[in-house]
Chains A and B, each alone.
Chain A
Amino acid sequence: MIGHLSPDVVFLDVNMPVLDGFDFLESVDSSKFKIVFVTAHEEHAIKAIKAKAVDYLLKPIDIKELQQTVKRLADHFKNNDNVITSVQNDKVILPASYGFTAINAEEIIRLEAEDCYTHIFTVNEKKITVSKTLKEIEEKVSDRLFFRVHKSHLINLRHIKDYSKLDGGCITMSDGVKIQVSRRKGSEFTEKYKEFIMKQ
């Protein structure tokens, strides 16, 4: 469940009846998110620090402490975002809560927007979610390989399997997912794809 949601931070209660907070951390890959323990018991503090918690909130929660914790987290992620999101030699370097991840641009099949986030789907069926808008990522990746066919979709031209002009235009990607082409992008897309094929 945690893997599917890919949070940046987990606010974790310590005292739970079946799995306590520490057992919970052993059952998931906790390297991919930050942990803030939330508990009524101060004696868990040292264990929480050893479990690499970034902070520790005591119940009842003090609003100012909560805001300070969130501000520290926001600063941390903002700094990571600003420093390392880049494209170098066709490597796309993306921020993650645990550091960064580098993937070959060729391995990206498509990118999908969801509010302030972008989901990146790769050839090994991996889904990476980053706290960047699709527009921000579009500005960074190579326009040789990628094209925005819809306000919510940026696709890798190399991974196009099929294109149908019916129903306003629909692309089937190499992972079988069908992507709708927006009406105003239809002719621009076909031109771009012709150009891409000519350069291969």
Chain B
Amino acid sequence: MRKILFNKKELSSDQINNMRDFDLVLKKVQAQRQYWRSPWFYGTIGLASILSFLIFI
């Protein structure tokens, strides 16, 4: 069920801009990149593929 808000008090530009955190965004970007680059990621995918193949045959 949708909630319909009528004349809701909006946050001011200052309040919104105080929530900005570009460092956090960069950290998340870095974490994602490291996750894809991690040998653990490919190792797990590889192991899962081998196991799936073995189960299949």
- A and B associate: no
Q: State the A residues within 8 Å of B (CB).
A: none
B interface residue numbers (CB < 8 A to A): none
